[in-house]
Structure 1
């Protein structure tokens, strides 16, 4: 049979009083922190007033009013790009200019739509304030109701322009495409 020989243990190093409280190994169960601050930061933290609450709350209408001069600059830029587009003969340059022009016009359309949306909401709030002055109990719209009011105004606008049928057809097509991917695939005959 086998005889077991006891292995000789190495003599343990005596730990100092400060080390006795610390574990011999770092536990693998505890996740190490991602951000270790080795040295404390002595410099002041940088404050960006655009994202800091100390600078006040964001007021969209005041912001739009303060930076309304940018709309004129954008219009000038559009005219400049159109002129440049007509003058250039290089196809790559034309493509670049066209992309920049499309980007600016899309941004303008988005801003215009947002402005109309804000006007509708402001109009609704003014009516509500007048009703409160008359003695009616205040009623605040839910987000879903606000969405419905905006949708109704959009449909009315499209109807007055004569583009409602085209818009609805496009929307149906998009929704049908979304629903189509959830349909089960047909099994082909072998």
Structure 2
């Protein structure tokens, strides 16, 4: 074996550079240089399962960490990916819901006729009343929507003809809606009942506004 004790530090570096690190360690230590064994990993049992490492091999200092994809929750009401809201497109796309609601209403009416339980009858009556109110509200909304579209169409036609289009204020629209509502109630024969209820509500409001006086 080469006597390295007589060599200087600079000569040792030159020797290591000339013969290589592995041969230099064999010359100095008389044994093979240690080498890092590759950590064996078992195959996953499933794609979602964790990796299995052998306990016989040391854990590497730097491990490869696989970052999991974070789920991003989005609200379609406020997301641009859902597009812009259009009442006409929405009504046309979900028009099939009207027939489903009609069938559900008929089923509730049949159950109400067959039921003999007082509590069940009360629940069914409340459900039927709620469904009827929703149906009336939907029809009112459609009627108002049709009038707004007709008004916009009229405004566009006037603009195309070179005339200045007219725009109704909210108060004027409200007056027209009330007039149409009264006309509809008069046609259906429910105007007197509606006015009677309104007078009672106004009387209760006026009574609440009166100052309270104690008997002397």
TM-score, normalised relative to structure 2: 0.61
Structure 2: segments with no counterpart, 5+ residues: 1-68
Q: Is 1:151 aligned to 2:144, yes or no?
A: no
Q: Is 1:77 aligned to 2:104, yes or no?
A: yes
Structure 1: segments with no counterpart, 5+ residues: 1-41
1:176 and 1:53 mapped to 2: Cα distance?
A: 50
Q: 1:61 to 1:134 in 2, by over 3 A?
A: same
1:7-156 mapped onto 2 (5 Å cutoff) = 43-156=70-183
- How far 1:101 moved relative to its partner? 1.3
- How far 1:110 moved relative to its partner? 1.1
Q: What's the RMSD between the two structures over aligned residues?
A: 2.0
Whose relative contact order is higher, 1 or 2, with alpha carbons under 8 Å and at least 6 apart?
A: 1
Q: Report how many residues are paired.
A: 148
Q: 1:169 to 1:132 in 2, by over 3 A?
A: farther
- How far 1:179 moved relative to its partner? 2.6
2:154 and 2:132 mapped to 1: Cα distance?
A: 33
Instruction: Give CA-to-partner distance per residue, 1:80-138, whole Å, 9 cap, x none.
Output: 11111111212222222222211111111111111112122222222222222221113
- Structure 2 counterpart of 1:170: 197
Q: Which has the larger radius of gyration?
A: 2
- How far 1:44 moved relative to its partner? 4.5
Question: Is the contact between residue 49 and residue 55 of structure 1 (CA under 8 Å) also seen in structure 2?
Answer: yes
- How far 1:139 moved relative to its partner? 2.9
Q: 1:156 to 1:187 in 2, by over 3 A?
A: same
The secondary structure found in structure 2 opposite 1:65 is helix
Question: Is the contact between residue 120 and residue 150 of structure 1 (CA under 8 Å) also seen in structure 2?
Answer: no
The secondary structure found in structure 1 opposite 2:122 is helix
1:73 and 1:171 mapped to 2: Cα distance?
A: 35
Instruction: Give CA-to-partner distance per residue, 1:39-65, whole Å, 9 cap, x none.
Output: xxx834311223323422211121111
Question: Is the contact between residue 158 and residue 164 of structure 1 (CA under 8 Å) also seen in structure 2?
Answer: yes
